[in-house]
Structure 1
Amino acid sequence: MEAEQFFRSLGDGTRLRCLMLLQAEGELCVCELTHALDLPQPRISRHLGHLRSAGVVQDRRDGYWVHYRLHPDLPEWARAVLAATADGLLHREPWAADAARLAAMPNRPANSCCA
């Protein structure tokens, strides 16, 4: 992965918010990201598609549902950037509100997803 491509992926607020939740949670369904960010599903999916194309995230399909996580082949330097960024943003808005909405989401999926 090229550094420029990685940092361009972080340059959008919606993508950065998704990545911070994935950094904190490990793997999330699109429905969880939609709920946490309080944004329409097509917008979330478009940004996740960009992150997937850039090699930052990987998806896993489970029936109709799509789950995302950080790409397992993400270079260590990129993982360190995401970890340091998450540490710095944890208590700032909108990231704190995103985490709170996700934590309060009713019927969060375990192995199967929600509607």
Structure 2
Amino acid sequence: MMKVYECCGIESVTKKVYCSSCGKEITNEIDVPEEGTVYSYTVIQVPPAQFAHLAPYTVALIQLKNSKAKVTARILESVAIGDQVKLDSIVDGAYVFKKVGSSKVLHNS
């Protein structure tokens, strides 16, 4: 399960001590499934130097299931808006998702 942090109706996957809206301490932690829907995406052709070995790769904005929160993640395959995806791993602090029910993974060399 992923954690979402909520205050004032705003949900985020980034843990913050204080709410940026009201200034109160954020104490609401919600467990949400590690699944979601592709809300938007782009294919990175010319990445920063530290990610050159991954190019081309897809980055998507994922609407998390049972939550208002969205998370930016690298996607292991080609996707379309509306595709169902699931968390595959967390690499160097970055979320990596894959399509639900997909067994084919594209590897960049």
The TM-score bracket by the shorter chain reads: under 0.3
Higher RCO, 1 or 2 (CA under 8 Å, sep at least 6)? 1
Q: Which has the higher helix share?
A: 1
Between structure 1 and structure 2, the one with the greater Rg is 2
Q: Which has the higher strand share?
A: 2
TM-score when scaled to structure 2? 0.23
TM-score when scaled to structure 1? 0.22
